[in-house]
Structure 1
Amino acid sequence: MKQATRVFWYSLFITLIVVIWGSVAPKHLEKITAAFTQGILDKFGWFYLLIVIAILLFCVYLMFSRYGKIRLGKHGEKPEFSNSSWFAMLFSAGMGMGLVFWTTAEPISHAFKSSPAAELGTDAAVRDALKYSFFHWGIHAWAVYGIVALVLAYFKFNRGAPGLISATLTPLFGEKRMRGPLGKGIDVLAVFATVVGVAATLGFGSAQITGGLSFLFGTPNNFTVQLIVLAVSTVLFIWSAWSGIGKGIKYLSNINMGLAAFLLVLLFIVGPTMLILNMFTNTLGNYAADFFKMSLRIAPMDAEGRTWINGWTIFYWAWWISWAPFVGIFIARISRGRTIKEFLFGVLLLPSLVCFIFFSVFGVSALRLENLGIATISKLSLETSTFGTLAEYPLGTFMSIITIFVIAIFFITSADSATFVLGMLSTDGRLNPGNQVKISWGLIQSMMAAAVVYFGGTQGLQNMLIIAALPFALVIILMGVSFYKDIRSELRSKSHDQKHQALKKGS
């Protein structure tokens, strides 16, 4: 533990307080954090909507501006990973297991439980269900990840700064302040948001795997089985993180993207193929047509509509922001050698398209069953809705078994990516943190997930994630300003040098 910095010990202390609080008084934790969360959703909803659309527009501007040609790294440097491995790793870290969890559950919820605008169960509700699923998991989410990752990669590979959130703010506040209490506080916030977010995801993932095993094989769906799943997964993701990005994380991500693609194609073939194609095309058009309307919709004079927006859109925006330090640092770590235009194209557009395809195949397959009265997927629990959908199609059991493997590996790749990032954040931004630090964070995350799930404090964890997102949204704004200030100065300096050399040659 020689590499561990003060950020590690401060973050560990805060994390242990939350674990003890969530274990001893889970209802109290949920009550206190719920009050803060509701206040944030009610009073800062407009802020989340504006900041996310501003981030997206800034990313698009960078892609097509003169800055797009700047390479993340030295001049002429080649990317460290192939395009396929790079995409597999960034997608697994950024969405992964959550995508498998929500591809059936979210469209079903929007269409048959709580619609954003239309009457439940109608064709309009079904169309809205897919449109808003595209919206929540599309380019907005990846823009939040992309800007944090871009700024971190630029300062690390072009400026030689440590791989820390605080280091990216040096052009604004100076190195002394970022090395002092203010910088340490920013890094602790990033570590805490990552630990809480991954712990909540580990809880969801182990619950979905346990629920899937119970649905398929009748195994007990209780905490003991969930704890066994969590323990096995912990050993695997710590091993993967210990092996490093170039081995364990890369290989697992590549394998899982292959399995996920195979599952996707299989369901597309045995499912309602033509309906999927038609709904995908139609939803893409609706998404494009209503893009800005959905982006800025807050329903100030519609209490029911505002409740839905708070519970879904603003919750998602806060969730992506709170995950941005973890996903952003990991994507930055694997993106050396790519130009800004290439980087943003890969991070914004390709993952969004994959998400759209997943939601179309799984979501339409589930919506069709409910619409025709073949199966009532909306009455199933969230963790079993995907398995309930697959069971109604040919090769359902086979596809469900593959799904369990996909969820398990996404579960592992998300956790090992987070473990690697936590190691970087708590060892002063080292690109290859020590194994002792990584193993420590892996065990801490799993213990936190196990304790909170057992004592019923999962909702409190989610609330804390939303609370942490508000100050980090301000940090993202500052990161963007700092990046733009520095990159503009760099280009001006290069332009001045080129003019000076031209004058010397002319004379």
Structure 2
Amino acid sequence: MDRLTNIFKQSTFKKGIVVPSLIFILSITFLSSFFPGQTAYYLGIVQEWIFINLNWVYVWSVTIFVIFLLFLLFSKFGSIRLGEYDADPEYSFFSWISMLFAAGMGIGLMYFGVAEPMAHFSDPTFAGIEETQRARNAQLFTFFHWGIHAWAIYGVVGLSLAYFAYRFRLPLSLRSCFYPILKNKINGPAGDVIDTFALCSTFFGITTTLGFGVVQLTAGLVELGLIAGTGFGYQVGIVAVVMTVAILSATSGVNKGVKLLSQINIVSAILLMAFILIFGPTIYLLGTFSEGIGYYITSFFTLTFNTHAYDPASQPWYFSWTILYWAWWISWSPFVGLFIAKISRGRTIREFIGAVLVIPTIFNFIWMTIFGNSAIWVDRNIGNKVLSSIANNTDELLFRFLDYFPVSGVTSSLAIFIIVVFFITSADSGIYVMNSIATNNAAKSPKWQLIFWGVLLSILALVLLNAGGLQALQTLTLITALPFSIIMCLFCYSLIKGLVLDHNYYARGYSPAANNWSGEFWKERLQHILSYKNRPAVEKFLQQWVRPALEDLAEEFNNKGITAVVQINEKPMEVQLTIKHDVIEDFTYGVRCQSKLISDFLVNEENIPGVDINKTYIPKTYFGDNRMGYNIEYFNKNEIIADALKQYERFVELSSEVKNEMFIDNTLKDTP
């Protein structure tokens, strides 16, 4: 008993995250298992209402994510590194891409590589369209669903997590993405709610994928004659084997198990794809890939914004495919985003976005072209429409397709191997991510916690599979995607706010006063730096230093026949030097007393004396052309004169250039 107590004492679980998550997960599992029909029915009503009435939320959210990432890709923020400036990537490029791909969509490609293009090609919605055009559209729709839009969803979450975790040294959890909005409140109940949502979403997504994937694996093993049927007992055995390996992989760490399995699987998938390309209609596939890319590019914006509002007959198909996909990718994004962020430390933002958006998208396009277009070609030319007739039976469609190729037993075995390994990589990375969320990214957790998540996933997936509750759970997952799409928009806002602050912080130079420092009177300068002034102190500085300096300068200008005046204004106090002109604009150099907010962190810092409130005052310059002014609180009288003369010299130099006449023409001021 004491040993068990010690084990739990060593746990890194955060009660505020784990307890409500488990309560919610077990409650939903109970409803979906004991009342699967009723639960699926009512959740289906909610999903249908959302898809019909709020589908535009998904459309605009995904569009925003694509535009946002493309903006960052080509912006000045692209060079910012996810980590310290000299940080190196933790993984080689191949390992990074392999893990990113395996966690993101690996098993989906095996499940839908043949099934989705065939489903679009044979869908009754498009029965009136000529067959060749239906084949082109099937490829186009598949590209759209598996292309840049899908990876932009993952990219927004992954980039937000990686940026705030590695740049601001915050925990690698969704709560950290709200830091610019919530500040330290992310460490309280608000942060726990965010991470609870992420944990439940991740758990449900992996559970449904595990459950439905077992059905496909069972169908494949039956096709090969390795098992006699698709009964529940066989499914229990498959889950036990897959999850045992997944748990072993997860407990060995990302650097070992996950990375190795991902590399093995990407190589295996490429071999299978190359086999289909070589022994399939090679010339046809190469040609359709080229055409498909062009068709996708030319149709990109039409597809992006199309809600089928003018074509109600096609809307059921649109809700069942495009909107369902957007909801599914969004619901998976906490899991995939967390894993992508975990393996992306040291990459630049430009490198991250370029790799996440482009490389998996191109691979998906190649895969879907080779498998999907091969299936359509077989169905049209030698298959007598057999594949079309079973297009809705996605569990066995891949294996029936492979029967049309040489050594179908070998290729089916390789396909099963790939599916199994994709299962394992999705499950082990999912276990790793769930434990990371549940512990608020604790540095090191006991291995029994990883085992706990693996066992819980296995048990609940089997319970739901046996009770027929997976459909209800999948529907709930899709429903939760709606509020999370809004949360992701807030991620974009937080990220751009953080990036602007980041760029300004590191790009900011020295104070203008520092340009004149020679080291003389350094003790007095230090005292100035450590002093935070009230309004009377700054007004005194304006009277004792700024006013005499500008009056001496005005007197010298007047002695040389140039009209110059000094004005004193109150509330706020200002001292202004104006040099009068007739044809060109007057030159103005002024200094005003201006308030400035101080960070609460600096106010609470005990090692900086004299900061009691979060407001101070500074003498700040202003100019006649409305340029940004600067703080001159460290200047002495001669330095104020020198600064005003530097600004006047700049003014004269700019006024002498013909191209600047529009800015300096004083004769236009009074023109109505």
Which TM-score tier does this pair reach, normalised by the shorter chain? Answer: over 0.9
2:317 matches 1:308: yes
Three-state SS of the structure 1 residue aligned to 2:383 is: coil
Shift, 1:446, TM fit: 1.5
In the other structure, the counterpart of 2:207 is 199
* Cα contact 2:61–2:486 (8 A) shared by 1: no
Write the distance in 2 (CA, Å) between the matches of 1:261 and 1:506: 65
Three-state SS of the structure 2 residue aligned to 1:497 is: coil
In the other structure, the counterpart of 2:28 is 18
2:198 matches 1:186: no
Shift, 1:334, TM fit: 0.3
In the other structure, the counterpart of 2:664 is none
Three-state SS of the structure 1 residue aligned to 2:213 is: helix
* Cα contact 2:207–2:460 (8 A) shared by 1: yes
1:410-463 deviations in whole A, cap 9, x for unaligned? 011011111100000000122554322221111111112111111111211111
Question: Which of 156, 159, 169 is residue 168 of structure 2 equivalent to?
Answer: 159
* Cα contact 2:435–2:453 (8 A) shared by 1: yes
In the other structure, the counterpart of 1:81 is 91
- Counterpart amino acid of residue 417 in structure 1: S
* Cα contact 1:171–1:485 (8 A) shared by 2: yes
Identity %: 36
**Further displaced range: 424-433 or 455-464:** 424-433
Q: Which has the larger radius of gyration?
A: 2
1:169-318 superposed matches below 5 A: 169-176=178-185, 178-217=186-225, 219-318=228-327
Three-state SS of the structure 1 residue aligned to 2:54 is: helix
Write the distance in 2 (CA, Å) between the matches of 1:270 and 1:148: 40
Three-state SS of the structure 1 residue aligned to 2:114 is: helix
Shift, 1:379, TM fit: 3.1
1:366-410 deviations in whole A, cap 9, x for unaligned? 111211251511333201111111111112221111000000000
* Cα contact 1:113–1:120 (8 A) shared by 2: no
* Cα contact 2:65–2:156 (8 A) shared by 1: yes
Shift, 1:235, TM fit: 0.4
2:456 matches 1:444: yes
In the other structure, the counterpart of 2:368 is 359
1:276-305 deviations in whole A, cap 9, x for unaligned? 111111111111110011111111132221
- Counterpart amino acid of residue 303 in structure 1: P
Write the distance in 1 (CA, Å) between the matches of 2:434 and 2:400: 36
Question: Which of 427, 430, 445 is residue 415 of structure 1 equivalent to?
Answer: 427
> What is the TM-score normalised by the length of structure 1?
0.97
Indicate the structure with greater helix content: 1
The 1:382/1:498 distance shift into structure 2, 3 A limit, reads farther
Write the distance in 2 (CA, Å) between the matches of 1:230 and 1:506: 73
- Greater RCO (CA < 8 Å, at least 6 residues apart): 1
Write the distance in 2 (CA, Å) between the matches of 1:172 and 1:37: 30
In the other structure, the counterpart of 1:47 is 57
Shift, 1:33, TM fit: 0.9
2:383 matches 1:371: no
**Further displaced range: 138-147 or 434-443:** 434-443
Shift, 1:21, TM fit: 1.1
Shift, 1:500, TM fit: 5.9
Write the distance in 1 (CA, Å) between the matches of 2:120 and 2:173: 38
Residue ranges of structure 1 left out of the alignment (5+ in a row): none
Shift, 1:180, TM fit: 2.4
Three-state SS of the structure 1 residue aligned to 2:509 is: helix
Shift, 1:172, TM fit: 0.6
* Cα contact 2:206–2:427 (8 A) shared by 1: yes
Question: Which of 403, 423, 431 is residue 415 of structure 2 equivalent to?
Answer: 403
**Further displaced range: 345-354 or 375-384:** 375-384
Question: Which of 483, 490, 495 is residue 471 of structure 1 equivalent to?
Answer: 483
Shift, 1:30, TM fit: 0.3
Write the distance in 2 (CA, Å) between the matches of 1:499 and 1:138: 47
Three-state SS of the structure 2 residue aligned to 1:174 is: helix
Three-state SS of the structure 1 residue aligned to 2:306 is: coil
Three-state SS of the structure 2 residue aligned to 1:78 is: coil
The 1:187/1:504 distance shift into structure 2, 3 A limit, reads farther
Shift, 1:504, TM fit: 6.2
Write the distance in 2 (CA, Å) between the matches of 1:95 and 1:296: 24
2:136 matches 1:127: yes
Shift, 1:179, TM fit: 2.2
Indicate the structure with greater strand content: 2
Shift, 1:246, TM fit: 0.2
Equivalent residue pairs, number: 505
- Counterpart amino acid of residue 186 in structure 1: I
1:323-334 superposed matches below 5 A: 323-334=332-343
> What is the TM-score normalised by the length of structure 2?
0.73
* Cα contact 1:200–1:462 (8 A) shared by 2: yes
* Cα contact 2:12–2:442 (8 A) shared by 1: no
2:36 matches 1:30: no
Write the distance in 1 (CA, Å) between the matches of 2:512 and 2:481: 46
- Counterpart amino acid of residue 108 in structure 1: M
Write the distance in 2 (CA, Å) between the matches of 1:130 and 1:433: 45
Write the distance in 2 (CA, Å) between the matches of 1:32 and 1:335: 40
Shift, 1:313, TM fit: 0.3
Question: Which of 9, 32, 43 is residue 19 of structure 2 equivalent to?
Answer: 9
Write the distance in 2 (CA, Å) between the matches of 1:308 and 1:209: 27
Write the distance in 2 (CA, Å) between the matches of 1:180 and 1:322: 24
Write the distance in 1 (CA, Å) between the matches of 2:369 and 2:502: 44
1:241-282 deviations in whole A, cap 9, x for unaligned? 111100000000000001001111111101111111111111
Write the distance in 1 (CA, Å) between the matches of 2:182 and 2:320: 36
* Cα contact 1:114–1:308 (8 A) shared by 2: no
The 1:351/1:431 distance shift into structure 2, 3 A limit, reads farther
Write the distance in 2 (CA, Å) between the matches of 1:149 and 1:386: 31
- Counterpart amino acid of residue 200 in structure 2: F
CA RMSD of superposed structures (Å): 1.6
In the other structure, the counterpart of 2:496 is 484
Write the distance in 2 (CA, Å) between the matches of 1:65 and 1:505: 35
**Further displaced range: 118-127 or 151-160:** 118-127
Three-state SS of the structure 2 residue aligned to 1:362 is: helix
